[in-house]
A and B are shown apart, each in its own frame.
Chain A
Amino acid sequence: MNGLDIWMRENPIAYVVLGSYAVAFLIFAVEIAMVRHKRKITLQQVHLMRDAGDEE
């Protein structure tokens, strides 16, 4: 058994929480950040288009 095997058997809750739940919630956080960023960028594009239209 290597070091990780020994550690996971000695600390099963830490293994479950850090390995599964922390990773899953990190993925959710990154997804939320990406969705918010996409909306911000899209709104900027729409504003730019509207401003360009106003100048014509």
Chain B
Amino acid sequence: MAINWFKYSAPTTFYGLAGKLIPWFGISAAILFAVGLYIGFFVAPIDYQQGEFYRIIFIHVPASIISMFLYLIMAGYAALGLIFNTRLSSMMATAIAPTGALFAFISLWTGALWGKPMWGAWWVWDARLTSELILLFLYLGYIALHASIDEPRRADRAAALLAIVGSVNVPIIYFSVKWWNTLHQGSTIKFSGTSMHVAMQQAMFITLVACWLYAIAVILARVRSIILERERHTKWITELPEVK
């Protein structure tokens, strides 16, 4: 049986689908966090150079990866909304921004906590750290710009331009450790392999998936509120069981 995926690009059908998916993503995220952190703290060995401090990696790396990917996804949705004038795309971009900003903040915060015992400083104006800070400002700029315009469709268009232009920062973050001499270490996991202990890899991968599932659950919950708010004048909203 073929599934018509375009059906779910309309807020009317997506609203119900998102509501069904949220508990699955949320519960899976909680279970995977528990498993990942158990492996990370009780199975993975101590690092011979960094001691116990390296265990920040299990939240720092997933938060950093997700903050970058969410920005690209947000910019992609914003571009779709701008080009095809699709309502749901712009709503998705608006829903992603706060979660992306929080992950960027967690990345910077945990990075500072890691930097202090390793480098002796909470913060250095290193290319990787500075470009990640710019990413946080781009998220905040997107949220502020969107909130400053009353008419939602105009706000979507203005904020979309910022999101698209700002996406140039994401490859800069990723390649910063290769392009410049940075205090921040280079990629530990490469396509050619890794020197990390297998338990460390497992814990990092599981917490990465957990963070993704959490982010999806929260974004879907937020987009449902945005759909309710923007479509409140329509008949299908008044027929919803939670509204009746």
A residues near B, CB below 8 A? 5, 8-9, 12-13, 15-16, 19-21, 23-24, 27-28, 31-32, 35-36, 38-39, 42-43, 45-47, 49-50, 53
29 contacts between A and B (CB under 8 A): A8-B116, A12-B51, A12-B52, A12-B53, A13-B52, A15-B53, A15-B113, A16-B52, A16-B55, A19-B110, A20-B56, A20-B109, A20-B113, A23-B106, A23-B109, A24-B59, A24-B63, A31-B99, A32-B218, A35-B225, A38-B222, A39-B221, A39-B228, A43-B242, A43-B243, A45-B229, A46-B228, A46-B237, A50-B243
For residue B41, which residues in chain A have a CB less than 8 angstroms away from its CB?
Answer: 13
B96 to chain A, nearest CB (A): 13
Residues of B with C-beta under 8 A to A45: 229, 232
User: Of B110, B222, B232, B233, which is within 8 A of A35 by CB?
Assistant: B222
Q: Is B139 an interface residue (CB 8 A)?
A: no
Tell whether, in the assembled complex, residue A28 and residue B214 are in contact, meaning their CB atoms are under 8 Å apart. Answer: yes
Closest residue of chain A to B117, judged by CB? A8
List of 7 A-B pairs having minimum Cβ-Cβ separation, nearest first = A12-B52, A19-B113, A20-B110, A42-B228, A39-B225, A38-B225, A35-B221
Chain B residues with CB under 8 Å of A36's CB are: 221
Q: How far apart are the CA atoms of A38 and B214 in the complex, in Å?
A: 18
B102 within 8 A of A: yes
Q: Which residues 59-86 of B sit at the A interface, judged by CB distance below 8 A?
A: 59-60, 63
Name the A residues within 8 Å of B105 (CB-CB). 27
- Interface residues in B208-244 by Cβ distance below 8 A to A read 214, 218, 221-222, 224-225, 228-229, 232-233, 237-238, 242-243
Chain B residues touching A, range: 35 or more
Given the known inter-chain contacts A12-B51, A16-B55, A21-B59, please indicate yes or no for A35 contacting B218, CB distance below 8 A: yes
Measured between beta carbons, the chain A residues less than 8 angstroms from B218 are 31-32, 35
Q: Least Cβ distance of A49 to chain B in Å?
A: 6
**Cβ of A46: which chain B residues have Cβ within 8 Å of it?**
228, 232, 237-238, 243
Across the interface, which residues of B come within 8 angstroms of A15, CB to CB?
53, 113, 117
Interfacial chain A residues near B116, Cβ < 8 Å = 5, 8
Cα distance A32–B60 in the bound complex, in angstroms:
20
Judging by beta carbons under 8 Å apart, are A21 and B37 in contact?
Answer: yes
* CB closest chain-A residue, reference B33: A25
Contact B52 A24 (CB under 8 A): no
